Amino acid sequence: MSPTLVILLVALALLAIYAIAVYNALVRLKHQVAKNWSNIDVVLKQRHDELPKLVSVCRQYMRYEQETLQRVVEARGAVFAARERGDLRQLGEAETALRAGLGQLLAIAESYPELQADRAFRDLGARISQLEDTIADRRELYNESVNLLNVRLAQFPDLLIARRLGFTPASLLEFSEARADVDLDALFG
């Protein structure tokens, strides 16, 4: 066997090993993104199930705040629909609306002392707050895994293998984080 042939075979073997390693890394990242999305989906479903209970408890006390309650119910439906379709852009918009509605609902609830004293309301409020924190944590993990995948897909020479094998970038899950304080004077003025 000629030395040139040996060098060529070794080079091809190394190239094949590298391609396999890149492929396996991309598959691992792709599955990490899917797993992290599933983790978010579980918490979104849990919150989806808790919100009607909170609205029901609030309805017993907030007879004059039906518009706020309706906005929360509609936003909940929009989140559910976007989650079912897997539309991350719409999910982000619906989440933003839901978070704003929940913030307004909880701010208005402060003017109802009997509602504030209701144990079911306090428990549901604490549970939903806990779920919101969990969603934020899991969204951070999901976006980190999406970023790792997308960077790997854009790096040379990995992108050559990724394109040839049909790997595509994943979308970040983005919510508009409206952090402005609720204007209680405007709500009750």
The percentage of the chain sitting over the pLDDT mark of 70, rounded to a whole number, equals: 92
pLDDT, tens digit, for every residue of 164-175? 999 999 999 888
Residue with tokens 């701010």: 107
The residue count for the chain: 189
* Statement: residue 188 has pLDDT above 70: no
| The pLDDT value given to residue 179 | 47
Cα 56 to Cα 13, 61, 113, 186: the distances in Å are: 66, 9, 17, 25
* Statement: residue 112 has pLDDT above 90: no
Q: What is the mean pLDDT of residues 144-161?
A: 94
Range of lowest pLDDT (9-13, 19-23, 99-103): 99-103
* Statement: residue 161 has pLDDT above 50: yes
Cα 76 to Cα 42, 70, 99: the distances in Å are: 15, 10, 10
| The pLDDT value given to residue 177 | 61
| The pLDDT value given to residue 64 | 65
| The pLDDT value given to residue 7 | 94
Distance CA 145, CA 30 (A): 8
The secondary structure of 91-107 as a DSSP string is HHHHHHHHHHHHHHHHH
Q: 157 preceded by cis ω (within 30°)?
A: yes
Residues whose CB falls within 8 Å of the CB of residue 171, separated by 6 or more in sequence, listed in order: 88, 89, 146
| The pLDDT value given to residue 106 | 82
User: Cα angle vertex 145, ends 144, 150, to 5°?
Assistant: 100
Given pLDDT bands bounded at 50, 70 and 90, which one contains residue 31? very high
pLDDT, tens digit, for every residue of 126-152? 888 899 899 999 999 999 999 999 999
Q: What are the φ/ψ torsions at residue 62 (nearest 5 degrees)?
A: -95, 70
Calculate the CA dihedral of residues 69, 177, 83, 39 and round it to 10 degrees. -120
